[in-house]
Structure 1
Amino acid sequence: MAQATPSKHKQVIERYLEAFNEQDVDALPELVTEDVLVQGLIGADGDVNGIEEYGEWWTETLSGIPDAHIELEDYFESGEKVAARWTFTGTQENDLFDIPATNRSFEITGLAIFRMEDEKIAEKRYQQDDLGMLQQLGIVEEH
């Protein structure tokens, strides 16, 4: 059976994950709208509004987890809405959102619902296993 060509939305999401894995914060303008809205990010005090604020979050995250890597597991789309599930791995080698470096590794899953606009990410609603990450980093005791 012939392989289908990835949709434009999927190409954007794949490039977005590639940029994160390569710590290419400068790629954000090609991937997200200027007024992007992001919800559910660890370390963020509420919603992240706009490309500048989102870029700061990326920089902070990648500074704390220099080997951060996201692997796409599942992808679905319907119209302008996209859902992606991935596995996020890394080692917290430096301070991360006021959490001192632990030098411990983690592996968690996350799910995001994106709203696409003009072949860019305009909105991202994100949920990941933050508790599992904090437990694996030794910040929160496992029960």
Structure 2
Amino acid sequence: MSIEANKALVERYYHELVTGQRVELLEELVAEDAADETRVGPGGSGTRADFEEHLRWLWQNVRDVKATVEDLVAEGDRVIAFWRIEGTHVGPIFGVPATGRSFVGHSISWLTVRDNKVVRYNVLPDRLGIVQQLAPAIV
């Protein structure tokens, strides 16, 4: 796959799957043996079900979640996504119970693509920035 095709796949992942909450796209966008390293740890093996678990957790805890890709950098089979998440905090996130507050956070994710499907995913969110917005009294 070309670098541009890999970038387009990542754009769809965030726009249609994460924001659009179209769980039916998992089969099209994510390989069956893909590893969501947020669930299985770095270098771990996993399945598409781990991605669904991660997404359902997000949708359950962040109402009206919106993920916006701000920049993509790609080389070979790897795409680095710089993206923003917005929504309303309605369930536990990073140890903070639901507050009902809106928040904006920034994250960097790295995705590996094979045969036009994500095969590995990890994310580094700005946890401190998000927690400061959700529970400023405890930080």
**Into which bin does the TM-score normalised by the smaller protein fall?**
0.7 to 0.9
Contact 1:131 1:140 in 2 (8 A): no
Q: Is residue 63 of structure 1 aligned with residue 60 of structure 2?
A: yes
1:96 Cα deviation after fit: 5.1
Unaligned runs of 5+ in 1: 1-5
**1:20 alignment partner AA:** V
If each structure's helix is expressed as a fraction of its own residues, which one has the higher value? 2
Mapping for residues 106-125 of structure 1, pairs under 5 Å: 106-125=103-122
Separation in 2, partners of 1:135, 1:107: 11
Report the residue type matching 2:111 in the other structure.
F
- Of the structure 1 ranges 91-100 and 64-73, higher mean CA displacement relative to structure 2 is found in 91-100
Unaligned regions of 5+ residues in structure 2, if any?
A: none
Identity of aligned residues (%): 28
CA distance in structure 1 between the partners assigned to 2:72 and 2:95 by the alignment: 33
CA distance in 1 between partners of 2:137 and 2:33 (Å): 34
How far apart are the structure 1 equivalents of 2:93 and 2:126? 16
Task: Give matches, 1:1-143, under 5 Å.
Answer: 7-18=4-15, 19-39=17-37, 41=38, 44=39, 46=41, 49-95=46-92, 99-138=96-135, 141-142=138-139
Name the CA shift for 1:25/1:140 in 2 (closer, same or farther; >3 Å). farther
Distance 1:98 1:141, change over 3 A: closer
RMSD between aligned alpha carbons?
2.3
**Post-superposition shift, 1:67?**
0.9
CA distance in 2, matches of 1:126, 1:97: 14
Equivalent residue pairs, number = 134
Cα separation, 1, equivalents of 2:63 and 2:35: 24
- Alignment partners' CA distance in 2, 1:45 and 1:116: 18
Q: Is the 8 A contact 1:63 1:96 kept in 2?
A: no
1:31-58, Cα deviation, whole Å (9 max, x unpaired): 111111122x4xx584682111220121
Provide the TM-score with structure 1 as the length reference.
0.82
Find runs of 4+ consecutive structure 1 residues off by over 6 angstroms. Answer: none
Question: What's the TM-score once normalised by structure 2's chain length?
Answer: 0.84
> Are the counterparts in 2 of residues 60 and 97 from structure 1 also a CA contact under 8 Å?
no
Cα distance in 1, alignment partners of residues 26 and 20 from structure 2? 12
